[in-house]
Amino acid sequence: MGRRRRRREPADPGGGIGCHQHAKYPRSPIQTRPMDRKDIRNLRRWHRAAALRAREAGFDIVYIYATHMYMLAQFLSPQHNQRSDEYGGSVENRVRLVRELIEETKDAIGDTCAIAVRMSADDGTGTPEQPVSEDRREMFEILAELPDLWDVNIHNYEHEMGVSRFVKEASLENTMNYVKSITSKPVVTVGRFTSPDTMVSQVRRGIVDFIGAARPSIADPFLPLKIKEGRGDEIRECIGCNICYTGDSLSVPIRCTQNPTMGEEWRRGWHPERIQPKSSDATVLVVGAGPAGLEATRALGQRGYQVMLAEATTELGGRVTRECRLPGLSEWGRVRDYRVHQIQTMPNVDIYLDNDLDADDALSLGADHIVIATGSTWRADGYGRYHKTPCLNLGPAEQIFTPDDIFMGRVPQGKVLVFDDDHYYMASVLTEALVAQGAEVCFVTPENLVSAWGVMTDEHYQNQQRLLQLGVQIITAHGLDEFDGSNARLSCVYTQQTRLLETDAVVLVTSRAPRDSLYKEIAGKLESASPGAGPIPTLDKIGDCDAPAIIAAAVYAGHRYARELGADGVRSDVGRQDKLFVPD
Ligand code: ADP
Ligand code: SF4
């Protein structure tokens, strides 16, 4: 997959200065040159040859890709294209290269392959009220009947690929809805469609002829089949977190929060829907009903094991239930809902809410296997990436807050300093929640950007924009060194120069500690159990209780535990601390 570019770049001077600001791909000191006639002739020749190779390789549909500010989109753009020859200036001229490529590709392979064009419905020069320029509409009119299929997206990639916190389902519609009135050819679009009702509505209302779905089919590759068979309540709906996109950003294998089998179909042989049946009549106790415990329970239940799920609180979902109540994160609740829905249909799974187990409770249940998924707690001592040891000068405890305090309803008032040493969504979402409750927030981070890891999920821009729009004071590249109850001392990460900031409270979003005391207690008892005292259960820990991480990692750990229980051989230690596997 290529790199997509952002919308708000200045007009590009003719030669094509590397002009796209992206935190992941900073402005490049490398310039290009305008293509001359020979370059264009070569490109057309190469494109034709590539189309022929694609047909030979067995493809049925070949694209002319004229969007995402790749080269063809730059030819179309009234801003980027500053040529004075027959490929620049008027709409006819700017559209010429795309038209030639469509015609030549059709000529080469059009007898056996469909030719699709992907082009954005707008060119980024419009307004929210009127997103589509006359210029872009004319381009669609000129090309209308040439391709066999129109694949229409929008210019703003952050919007198109937006996370659910900022962009809601099917939100491309207002920009691309005119295209079908211009062409008789079929039209498809994307837009993180997750609900079959929304999809059907767009088709029925004549917005599109069929639905494009990338993230929804990562979350559930059997989405079309489930819709077709009327199994809508079995769909694992995408939550719009963009963890899948981090694989692209970090050049590592893809992961999905909702679908732990994503990327493991071949490597581990994990089918997204099917799982091997249980290998014995052993019983399993799962402690903790966060994403790790819920997924372990669901997948063990699917295998046919007798499972007891014990949860300390009166709610299922753990951190997902807490976090999905924060501004913009409601769709994250689907991580819980999908699993709870599945578990509730399983007669071999028993759920015990309001059961804060200790080691004796856990052992007294007599399970053959115990898996601890008790999660983690946010630290209140400043320890994290900035402070390598607990910070001792953080002022009166009643003026120090953690995300857990806020979840429990202990909320700071007045002037609040949010110290983000976690660098993902938590600090910025909490900031938004605090501002909504009337606090005057200053956001401090040792990084150069707000929620810097959000660059990996392509949400950093909207994140920083949101805080600025809310009037939050942002101080980057500074750490929090001390707080005396009225002033916080910050220091610059580059110069170590300090400054004082008046504040009533400090929210520490730094790091989390595994909640693993139950695991340790049980492990201690098992170690000291006298031989001959009866069968000894296996003991494991998974998810945040093992190593605090993102929700996707907890779901994955739960799934992996369930897959590997009773399997032959030794488990590898990827993502786990315990290396030895004891077959049941
Ligand atoms: P993860 O992300 O690893 O799934 P969470 O923090 O989301 O972790 O969930 C952990 C769950 O475990 C929480 O719902 C918490 O209430 C529950 N829990 C913690 N300690 C116990 C315990 N001793 N007995 C039962 N449930 C517990
Ligand atoms: Fe959807 Fe998140 Fe899975 Fe991507 S990682 S497909 S956004 S649930």
Q: Are 329 and 317 in contact (CB under 8 A)?
A: no
Q: Which ligand is nearest to the CA of 220?
A: 2
Q: Which ligand is nearest to the CA of 223?
A: 2
450: its two tokens: 């707000």
Q: Among positive and negative, which fits the CA dihedral 258, 517, 424, 404?
A: positive
Please indicate whether residue 164, judged by its CB atom, sits closer than 6 Å to ligand 2: no
The rounded Å distance from CA 544 to ligand 1 centre is: 9
301-326 pLDDT tens trace: 999 999 999 999 999 999 999 999 99
With the most atoms of ligand 2 within 8 angstroms of its CB, the residue from 195, 243, 334, 335 to mutate is: 243
pLDDT of 3 over the 70 cut: no
Please indicate whether residue 110, judged by its CB atom, sits closer than 6 Å to ligand 1: no
> Looking at ligand 1, which residue's alpha carbon is closest to its atom 11?
288
Respond yes or no: is residue 70 known to be catalytic: yes
Instruction: Name the CA dihedral angle for 499, 448, 482, 326, rounded to a multiple of 10 degrees.
Output: 120
The rounded Å distance from CA 278 to ligand 1 centre is: 25
With the most atoms of ligand 2 within 8 angstroms of its CB, the residue from 160, 223, 238, 551 to mutate is: 238
Report how far apart the first and last C-alpha atoms of the chain are (Å, whole number). Answer: 43
- For residue 578, name the pLDDT band (cuts at 50, 70, 90): very low
Q: For residue 379, what pLDDT is reported? A: 97
Ligand 1 atom nearest residue 313's Cα = 16
Q: For residue 568, what pLDDT is reported? A: 61
Please indicate whether residue 445, judged by its CB atom, sits closer than 6 Å to ligand 2: no
Nearest of 452, 449, 415, 421 to residue 434 by alpha carbon: 415
pLDDT of 204 over the 60 cut: yes
Q: Where are the beta strands (DSSP E) in 503-546?
A: 505-509, 512-514, 538-541
The rounded Å distance from CA 292 to ligand 1 centre is: 9
The rounded Å distance from CA 202 to ligand 2 centre is: 22
The fraction of the chain above a pLDDT of 70, given in percent, is 93
Those residues whose C-beta lies under 8 Å from the C-beta of residue 54, and which sit 6 or more positions away, are 62, 109, 113
- 70, 87, 383, 561: which is the annotated catalytic residue? 70
> Looking at ligand 2, which residue's alpha carbon is closest to its atom 1?
238
Please indicate whether residue 554, judged by its CB atom, sits closer than 6 Å to ligand 1: yes
Q: Which ligand is nearest to the CA of 553?
A: 1
139-158 pLDDT tens trace: 999 999 999 999 999 998 88
Q: Are 152 and 189 in contact (CB under 8 A)?
A: yes
Q: What string of DSSP letters covers 330-360?
A: GGGGHHHHHHHHHHHT-TTEEEE-S----HH
The answer to whether the predicted template modeling score (pTM) of the entire model surpasses 0.95 is: no
Q: For residue 23, what pLDDT is reported? A: 53
Ligand 1 atom nearest residue 546's Cα = 3
> Looking at ligand 2, which residue's alpha carbon is closest to its atom 3?
256
Please indicate whether residue 241, judged by its CB atom, sits closer than 6 Å to ligand 2: yes
Q: Are 75 and 12 in contact (CB under 8 A)?
A: no
Please indicate whether residue 319, judged by its CB atom, sits closer than 6 Å to ligand 1: yes
498-515 pLDDT tens trace: 999 999 999 999 999 999
5-38 pLDDT tens trace: 444 333 333 333 333 345 566 778 999 899 999 9
Report the mean per-residue pLDDT for the chain: 92
Those residues whose C-beta lies under 8 Å from the C-beta of residue 60, and which sit 6 or more positions away, are 113, 114
107-111, 290-294, 525-529: the lowest-pLDDT one: 525-529
50: its two tokens: 């590539």
With the most atoms of ligand 2 within 8 angstroms of its CB, the residue from 169, 193, 215, 220 to mutate is: 215
Q: For residue 580, what pLDDT is reported? A: 28
pLDDT of 189 over the 60 cut: yes
pLDDT of 255 over the 50 cut: yes
With the most atoms of ligand 2 within 8 angstroms of its CB, the residue from 192, 244, 252 to mutate is: 244
Q: What is the mean pLDDT of residues 97-103?
A: 98
Q: What string of DSSP letters covers 128-163?
A: SSS-S-HHHHHHHHHHTTSSSEEEEE-S-HHHHT--
> Looking at ligand 2, which residue's alpha carbon is closest to its atom 6?
215
> Looking at ligand 1, which residue's alpha carbon is closest to its atom 9?
290
CA-CA distance, 74 to 71, in Å (whole number)? 5
552-568 pLDDT tens trace: 999 999 999 999 999 86
- For residue 194, name the pLDDT band (cuts at 50, 70, 90): confident
How many of the other CB atoms lie within 10 Å of CB of 378?
A: 21
Please indicate whether residue 240, judged by its CB atom, sits closer than 6 Å to ligand 2: yes
Nearest of 376, 489, 500, 506 to residue 434 by alpha carbon: 506
CA-CA distance, 555 to 373, in Å (whole number)? 11
Amino acid 276 reads Q
Ligand 2 atom nearest residue 259's Cα = 3
Nearest of 289, 351, 286 to residue 318 by alpha carbon: 289
- Phi, psi (degrees; rounded to nearest 5) at 383: -60, 135
Sort residue 6 into left (φ over 0), alpha (ψ -120 to 50) or beta. Answer: beta
222-253 pLDDT tens trace: 999 999 999 999 999 999 999 999 998 899 99
The rounded Å distance from CA 291 to ligand 1 centre is: 9
Whole-Å CA distances, 124 to 64, 72, 119, 461, 526:
20, 15, 12, 17, 64
Nearest of 250, 180, 249, 189 to residue 214 by alpha carbon: 189
Q: Which ligand is nearest to the CA of 324?
A: 1
The rounded Å distance from CA 241 to ligand 2 centre is: 5
Please indicate whether residue 272, judged by its CB atom, sits closer than 6 Å to ligand 1: no
The fraction of the chain above a pLDDT of 90, given in percent, is 86
Please indicate whether residue 479, judged by its CB atom, sits closer than 6 Å to ligand 1: no
303 SS3 class: helix
414 SS3 class: coil
Q: For residue 128, what pLDDT is reported? A: 83
92-96, 191-195, 409-413: the lowest-pLDDT one: 191-195
The rounded Å distance from CA 440 to ligand 1 centre is: 32
